Each structure stands twice: as C-alpha cells, then as structure tokens.
Amino acid sequence: MRDLPVFPDLRAFLGWCDTRGDLATINDPVSLKHAMTAVHRQVLERAGPVLKFANPVDGEANGAPIPVIANLFGTSERVCAGLGMAPENLDDLGAFLASLRAPEPPEGAKDVLSRWPMLKAALATRPKVVKRAASQSECFEGADVDLGRIPVQTHWPGDAGPLITWPVVLTRHHGSDAGAVNHYNAGVYRAQVIGRDRLIMRWLEHRGGAAHMRSWHKAGEPMPVAIALGADPATLLSAALPLPETISELTFAGALAGQRPRVVAAKSVPMMVPANAEIIIEGWVHPGDVAPEGPFGDHTGYYNAVEDFPVMRVSAITHRKDPLYLSTFTGRPPDEPSVIGEVFNRLSLPVIKAQIPEIRDLWLPPAACSYRMAVISIDKSYPGQARRVMMGLWGMLPQFSYTKMIVVVDDDINPRNWDDIAWALATRMDPARDVMLLDRTPMDYLDFASPEAGLAGKIGIDATNKIGSETTREWGEVMQTAPADTAFAADLIARCLPGLSP
C-alpha cells in the first residue's frame, strides 16, 4: 500500500518533511506554559509546517534541554504521509481496513496472488525483538526518575498543570505473555503530570487500557504500563485508528510502516516497548490508586470536569541520547485530532459502505467536533430508507454511538458543502414529518449539553426527496442546465473571459 519511503522513526519522518520545506525550527525561547500552544494553534490554522521548538522554557524561564516537536499532523497531507501514502491513494488503505473487518476467502491461486500486497502487509506485523534499542540509550530508574526533565506543556490558562498529549500507552491483559505483542493494546490517552514519578492516566471505561486494568485489579495485582513518546508515525496513527478489536494496534503499525515493528524488553516492567521511540516511560497502576484529573481544555472547546482516574507510578524513564518530545494540543477545531479525524473519515467509508451499500458519501464536519454530527448522501430507492440508514449508522461502529445528529441527503447533494446541505434542508425536509428523535441513548460524557452524563438524545433529519408513501403531494423537479449548454458556456467563457476562474 505504501508509495512513500519507509519512516522507521520520528526522525526519519521529520527529515522527509524537511526536504519538502515542511519543517520549521524556532530558536527563540518559547514558554511551555500557554505560549507554545498559542504559536502552534495559529500555525495549524494557516496549514503551516511541523514546528521544532529548539529552546522551550518553563514558567520561570529555565531552559529545557529537550526540543519540542508540534504540529506533526497539522495537515491532511502529512497525516496521509504518516500512513505511508499520497492522499489520492488513501482509498486503498480504507479497502484494506474493510477487508480486515470482513475478510473473504480467496478464490483460487489467482486470487491469492492478487491479494499478495495484503498478505505481505499482514506478515509485516510480526514484531522483531532486539536486544539493544535507541529508545534505551539512557536509563533512569528509582530515585533518578524525574518527569520534570521532559518539557511537558501546560496548554490552556485553565489547565490544572502539565499534560502529556501524544503518548502511545501500551497495556496487556492479566495472564498474557509479556512477549505476545500481538495481544497488546495501544491507545492515545492523555496523562497529567502530578509529581516527579506520578502520572494520572485518563482512560475511559470502554477503552482497551481500562479493560486491561480491570483484569489485573480483579486479580489484586498492579498492572504494568509502558508509554512511548515520539514513536514513528505509523505507530502513532495506528494507536488512533478505529481498528477491529482483534487487531493489535502495535503490530498493525508494521503493515503501515512497510516493515516489521522493532521492540525491546522494558527495563522495569514486564512489557515490550518500541525500540525506535524517542522516550519511554515505564510504571505500574495499583488497585485503588486514583487522583483527581483536570480540569483540562478538551476537543469540545470547553474545559472538562474534574474526575478521579488511575495513577501510574513511574519506575523508569529511558530515552535516546538527544531525545525529542512530541506534543500537541486539543481544543475547539481545528486542532490536530480534527485534522486526523478528517482523514480517518475517508478510511472508514469502505467499512461503512460494506454494511450499508446505499451510502454514497459521508462527512463528519470537523467544526462539530468530528463525530458529533454526520451528513450522509444515499442512493435512495424506497420509502423510509433514510431512517433505516440513520439507525444502521448509529449501531454500526462504536464512535457513531456518540453521533447526536445525522442529516441524510440524496446523492445529487454534496454532503461536504454547507450550501448544498442548507438547500436540501430548506426544500426537502418538513420538521413535523422528517425529524426523528431518540431519547436516553449512549453519549460521550464530556458532552455537558446532555441532560445526564453518558446519556442523551439523538436527532435524525431526512432531507431526501420524498417518494411513494412518504408524501401525498406531487414532488418538485430539480432544475438543471442541459449538458450541451453547460459545455458551450464553459468553452465560451474560456475563450472570451480567460481571466475568470471556473
């Protein structure tokens, strides 16, 4: 699937960005407290380059020795590059993900050969265990552990303190083999620094890390945890991808990267960790050890409430000789998660079409916090079809259970164009007939607009042309210019008005 070079680590990807003029180094001192986020945010809004803050400073203007990398995935082009491909080839990866969810047996030798790229990618997920790793060039354990050496940002004025925002958190189920990387869970969960050797791990109950923690604590044992900071782009994006539960994010990264993932035994916990990461944090989560987390600015554009989450006691920090610290911020879109979400929306489309074939396109508006609202275009052929599609989408993938508004339009409407959507709503939708309301359905508990935490209503709007028993009136006919006249007009304008852009 790859059509770009292999990026074995973050530095290789940064080097590739640099050759394209897409990496900018800022040598001026920039405070880790609020100012760095302000710079990052304005650069992202202008679709700017990856940023390397060479001289980050804390609130007292004490020099921090580790440079900060930000805005890594601030454009959709760089997200695609992190996946190993140009934007125009993204659909191939979407088809691959769809095949992982619903694989079909090959039909003879010819079919096997046609699927060889997929088979090769699957084989590439087998991890390669190494004895020495760049991520363990320097090691600090016990009393030498100090999270204060890492230039962790405090992003927003109302934040409770420093927050790690791009960690790849690795966990495994109780009773599993530490060497069975294929059964690891990798997730991106934010982590609040609350001391020299303590972090608060904010994983929600339905996430893989929390499920693993419950299995360890049920046995009355602390859970080992490893956090990779500054992993290679394939590992970073695999940890954020909505993969099937049977697919390990860490090993799937090998398929994306085009090479087997390299792992090494952790120094202080029974875990394997990425050999090519910039920084590794190791530690334990003990039963009953929790602390109040937050408040922190979130992807909704508001500060979330303070709640208790598990504490990780750090037992070791290892890193490269001259490490880099990868960071980002979350806030009201646009931010890096919303940019990544737009790309992942395209990747999900083949999976969605496989389950609901009449869907032609789907758009999750980034301004609506990505998944909170969906606009779907369908090939409509029978009454009630729009409502069936709404119900199907809400129940299909976990992330769509949090989508509180769905607008369904016909396939002559561009679901990514607000003017088209407004026209369909204004001319094809009657509020009394075409609005469906649901009550007490699952919702992201961060959505404080919900009447109850974790439970909220949903709205579905049918903005399609009404057919059959859906209407008793004669439906209007859409006005369109004849194709021949459209072609004539385009040719005439090109010849007579050459300065008028199409």
Q: Which of the residues are catalytic?
A: 298
* Closest C-alpha among 106, 39, 26 to residue 74: 39
Range list of β-strands (E), 130-247: 138-141, 163-164, 167-171, 185-187, 191-195, 198-201, 223-229
Give the span between the Cα atoms of 35 and 51, in whole angstroms. 14
| 269 and 284 Cβ atoms separated by less than 8 Å | yes
Amino acid in position 288: G
Give the span between the Cα atoms of 368 and 407, in whole angstroms. 13
| 478 and 420 Cβ atoms separated by less than 8 Å | no
Q: Which two tokens stand for residue 355?
A: 């389950």
Phi, psi of 148 (to 5 degrees): -65, -15
Judge if the upstream peptide bond of residue 295 is cis by omega within 30 degrees of 0. Answer: yes
Contacts of residue 266, defined as CB under 8 A and 6 or more positions apart, other chains included, come to 224, 226, 272, 273, 280, 282, 316
* Rg of the chain (C-alpha set): 25
DSSP sequence for 336-388: HHHHHHHHHHHHHHHHHHHHSTTEEEEE--GGGTTTTEEEEEE---STTHHHH
DSSP sequence for 12-65: HHHHHHHHTT-EEEE-S-EETBTHHHHHHHHHHHTT--EEEESSEE-TT-PBPS
DSSP sequence for 427-468: HH--HHHHEEEEEEEE--TT-TTSSBTTEEEEEEEE-SPP-G
